[in-house]
Amino acid sequence: MTLHVVPSSTAASPAVAVTHLYRAYGSRVVIENLNLRIERGEFVALLGESGCGKTTLLRALAGLDPIDGGRIAAPRRPAVVFQEHRLLPWDTLWRNVALGLQAADARERAAAALAEVGLGDRLDDWPRNLSGGEAQRVALARALMQEPELLLLDEPFAALDALTRIRMHHLVRELVATHRPGVLLVTHDVDEAIALADRILVMRDGRIAFEHRTSGHGARSIARAELLAELGVVASHPIPA
């Protein structure tokens, strides 16, 4: 087992640099010789079938699981938004957002973060009074509170309804534009990846099998078909974009 996260702090350093990452559960290799570099301000989406190792990669980057070989270099501890909001039910919203923050003005800063996600008037409300989308917005505010250089999103919109999801996409784009962390979004949703990411990766058999840089609108439908093909989805008739 090697050291987890190697601190690196030069100004030009990327949000995260992964080299020759190796991870196995017993004899089953989940990640093999994976290389990945995410710049600050860059939005990377990671697609892949269930069990391809994308969640394992995210957990390794988050420092939640050990790695068995290779190197992860990140300037600081990354922030994570999970599929579930993971709000503490016994804490009010502002205390949830300020969790882990050591500051005298924690409440003011939490208030600002909540205002940024449109919940500035609910500082003292309880998590149980939130809708799914609202709870996930609080989770986003909590992650961005720490001004992370790397933001890991583990299918954070998967449990939301279609309309709420679209609103969340807009919000995330705005927040990332303001705070400019490097983002790694793990998702099953090809359209979500296209809508949000600067760069889309497809993971297969423990490595990055395909990479696509999103560009102008015209390229989108082509990208979609290509990405779906990479994911093993063959469309019998064209799907409107």
Among positions 126, 188, 191, 219, the unique one binding other proteins when judged by CB under 8 A: 126
End-to-end CA distance of the chain: 45
**Closest alpha carbon to 139 in 97, 167, 110, 99:** 97
Residue 91 as a binder of other proteins (CB under 8 A): the answer is yes
Q: Which amino acid is at 142?
A: R
Site membership for other proteins, residue 183 (CB under 8 A): no
In the complex with other proteins, which residue's Cβ is closer, 137 or 212? 137
What whole-number distance in Å separates Cα of residue 53 and Cα of residue 40? 23
Q: What are the distances in angstroms from CA 158 to CA 52, 148, 153, 162?
A: 18, 23, 11, 9
Applying the rule CB under 8 A, the residues between 17 and 76 that interact with other proteins are 62-64
Looking at the Cβ atoms of 145 and 194, the one nearer to other proteins is 145
Tell me, residue by residue from 128 to 157, as one string, x for binding to other proteins by CB under 8 A and - for no binding: xx------------x---x-----------
Distance of closest approach, residue 129 Cβ to other proteins, in angstroms = 7
Alpha-helical runs (H) found in the chain: 54-62, 93-97, 106-116, 132-145, 162-179, 190-196, 220-230
Give me the residues that bind other proteins (CB under 8 A), please: 62-64, 77, 79-80, 82, 84, 86, 88-91, 99-100, 125-129, 142, 146
